[in-house]
Amino acid sequence: MKIEILGSGCAKCKRLEKNVQKAIRKAGIKADISKVEDINEIMNMGVMITPALAIDGNVVSTGKVLSPDDVLELIN
């Protein structure tokens, strides 16, 4: 599973990244977590509001910091 956190590196983006890591640990699964900070790449994915979350190349959330439980729902 490939999980991407899309954002400029702001506090909300960092919080989303921590929540994604917590969710992955809680689920006990392996995932490749990466950050995408290039604004052009983010826009090419159709994202206009960050932070955003993409799972296996599909954007599943934009403009909010998901809780670890919210992330778990999306990955299951």
CB 15: neighbour CB atoms within 10 A? 15
User: Which sequence positions are flagged as catalytic?
Assistant: 10, 13
Q: CA angle, corner 13, sides to 62 and 59, nearest 5?
A: 30
- How far is the C-alpha of 15 from the C-alpha of 1, rounded, in Å? 20
